[in-house]
């Protein structure tokens, strides 16, 4: 099918939640993708950060093929080897603890929200309903997903409008403001949830001091600290997990995007004592932790660790930041350049949508978020040469 036919069918049969899309993509390899007309694109956005190892990474493809030939799906009423292998890799390379597998970032966050509420009820208290500890403090400008609870957790009214009434139990504070969060804690609070680097909000980095203060505050008030690493986790920022830059360990961490090597997979990790608040029957998913997705996840994790791609993300990430700063010297409308590792971008003094569109016309895929922030989430296998090519188009 050519793009015209695909677009017509899309108009007729797909609910219009994504608007008209500029391309139909058919094939990918490494940092590049090709559209239905055979045109090549350099992809510095890698499917919103999903294609961490690039398109068609041989180890991911082999793992998927091998597992698909053996067993594509079984219910979570039975064990499978890929699931426990991946859980072990995640646990032993982070803060320990146990995993619950989901299909997406929103579902991983839903699991975290449910677990935090359940954990808060562990001490047998008289049921005080809405007055019981259940409230989760989240940050303004955050993004935690599109299910009703995660939408409610997301500190951006633009996504919430029209879907009221939203689930109760979320309180929003300005990001990186320790005094504000101290004020927000009350006797209903049960957790603090935030992205160590706000992705969708425009790559705002939580300072080490802020995270250290949040850990202290959580410990003092018996709150759980939840880090949403759905976008910034798994090597992207130069460490396997973004929290490792500060050394501040969360009680719960959520992952998704690149975890399944492009297949739908999310995970919630929780320290052993917290994880124990979930008992059989408390939470479940038909597809979560599917053996093919988990086999791909094992390949992603092993490749990251064996090839130390975190270091590569740091090196090429610094190079990309340097190139962006050079552009900032040249153009006064670039008001800020920020990011960490291969999660970076530039703030413009005007809306950036047209820049992303013009880059696409010239064979470069990038993204504009929060209206004015041009962001990059390239695969970790990107080279300096690819970055030079992308920057020349952007310039
Ligand atoms: N959390 C963060 C930090 C995200 O960036 C996203 C998606 O962009 C989500 C959660 C939701 O993930 P998903 O779209 O897989 O539900």
Per-residue model confidence as pLDDT tens digits over 56-68: 999 999 999 999 9
Secondary structure (3-state) at 263:
strand
Asked if residue 25 lies in contact with residue 34, where contact means CB atoms within 8 angstroms, the answer is yes
Secondary structure (3-state) at 4:
helix
Q: What is the pLDDT of residue 122?
A: 84
Closest residue to atom 7 of ligand 1, CA basis: 145
Residues 6+ apart with CB under 8 A from 213: 178
Question: Which single residue is written with the structure tokens 């820049």?
Answer: 355
Asked if residue 27 lies in contact with residue 33, where contact means CB atoms within 8 angstroms, the answer is yes
Centroid of ligand 1 to alpha carbon of 144 (angstroms): 6
Question: Which single residue is written with the structure tokens 């510095």?
Answer: 44
CA distance 333 to 347: 8
Closest residue to atom 5 of ligand 1, CA basis: 231
Q: What is the pLDDT of residue 125?
A: 60
Q: Which of 376, 365, 373, 372 is nearest to 343 (CA)?
A: 376
- HSE of 272, CA atoms in CB hemisphere, 13 A: 3
Q: What is the pLDDT of residue 127?
A: 59
Centroid of ligand 1 to alpha carbon of 2 (angstroms): 31
Per-residue pLDDT 10s for the chain (395 aa) are 999 999 999 999 999 999 999 999 999 999 999 998 999 999 999 999 999 999 999 999 999 999 999 999 999 999 999 999 999 999 999 999 999 999 999 999 999 999 999 999 986 665 566 668 999 999 999 999 999 999 999 999 999 999 999 999 999 999 999 999 999 999 999 999 999 999 999 999 999 999 999 999 999 999 999 999 999 999 999 999 999 999 999 999 999 999 999 999 999 999 999 999 999 999 999 999 999 999 999 999 999 999 999 999 999 999 999 999 999 999 999 999 999 999 999 999 999 999 999 999 999 999 999 999 999 999 999 999 999 999 999 99
pLDDT in tens, 20-46: 999 999 999 999 999 989 999 999 999
Give 187's DSSP letter. Answer: T
Secondary structure element (H or E) that encloses residue 170, with its range: strand 170-173
Q: What is the pLDDT of residue 360?
A: 98
Closest residue to atom 10 of ligand 1, CA basis: 144
Atom number of ligand 1 nearest to Cα 142:
3
Q: What is the pLDDT of residue 298?
A: 99
Q: What is the pLDDT of residue 381?
A: 98
Torsion, Cα 177 227 347 152, to 10 degrees, reads -80
For 194, phi then psi, to 5°, come to -155, 165
Catalytic positions = 143, 228, 257
- HSE of 313, CA atoms in CB hemisphere, 13 A: 32
Q: Taking each helix axis as running N to C, give the angle between helix 309-330 and helix 291-306, from 0 to 180 degrees, rounded to the nearest 10.
A: 80
- Please list every protein residue whose CB sits less than 6 Å from any atom of ligand 1: 48, 104-106, 109, 143-145, 195, 199-200, 228, 230-231, 256
Centroid of ligand 1 to alpha carbon of 230 (angstroms): 6
Q: Report residue 83 as tokens.
A: 């699931």
- Cross-strand partners of 334: 348
Q: What is the pLDDT of residue 128?
A: 62
Asked if residue 2 lies in contact with residue 36, where contact means CB atoms within 8 angstroms, the answer is yes
CA distance 87 to 265: 12
């Amino acid at each position: 099918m050519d793009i015209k036919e695909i677009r017509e069918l899309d108009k007729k049969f797909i609910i219009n939640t994504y608007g008209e899309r500029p391309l139909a993509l058919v094939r990918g390899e490494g940092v590049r993708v090709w559209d239905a007309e055979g045109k090549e694109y350099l992809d510095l956005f890698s499917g919103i950060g999903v294609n961490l190892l690039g398109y068609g990474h041989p180890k991911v493809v082999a793992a998927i093929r091998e597992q698909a030939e053996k067993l594509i799906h079984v219910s979570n009423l039975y064990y499978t080897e890929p699931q426990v292998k991946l859980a072990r890799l995640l646990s032993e390379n982070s803060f320990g603890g146990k995993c619950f597998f989901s299909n997406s970032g929103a579902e991983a966050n839903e699991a975290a929200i449910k677990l935090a509420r359940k954990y808060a009820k562990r001490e047998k208290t008289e049921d005080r309903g809405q007055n019981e500890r259940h409230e989760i403090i989240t940050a303004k400008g955050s993004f935690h997903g599109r299910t009703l609870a995660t939408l409610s957790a997301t500190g951006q009214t633009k996504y919430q409008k029209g879907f009221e009434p939203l689930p109760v139990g979320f309180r929003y504070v300005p990001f990186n403001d320790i005094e504000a969060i101290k004020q927000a804690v009350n006797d209903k609070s049960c957790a603090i949830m935030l992205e160590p680097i706000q992705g969708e909000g425009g790559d705002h980095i939580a300072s080490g001091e802020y995270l250290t203060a949040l850990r202290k505050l959580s410990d003092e008030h018996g709150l759980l600290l939840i880090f949403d690493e759905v976008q910034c986790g798994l090597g992207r920022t130069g460490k396997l997990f973004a929290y490792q830059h500060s050394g501040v360990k969360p009680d719960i961490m959520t992952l998704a995007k690149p975890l399944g090597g492009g297949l739908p997979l999310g995970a919630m990790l929780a320290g052993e004592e917290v994880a124990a608040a979930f008992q059989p029957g408390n939470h479940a998913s038909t597809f979560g932790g599917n053996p093919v997705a988990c086999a791909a996840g094992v390949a992603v994790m092993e490749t990251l660790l064996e090839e130390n791609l975190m270091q590569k993300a740091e090196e090429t990430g610094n190079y990309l930041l340097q190139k962006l700063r050079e552009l900032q010297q040249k153009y006064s409308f670039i008001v800020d350049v920020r990011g960490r590792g291969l999660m970076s971008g530039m703030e413009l003094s005007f809306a950036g949508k047209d820049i992303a569109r013009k880059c696409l016309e010239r064979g470069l895929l990038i993204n504009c978020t929060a209206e004015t922030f041009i962001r990059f989430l390239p695969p970790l296998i990107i080279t300096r040469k690819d970055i030079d090519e992308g920057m020349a188009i952007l310039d």
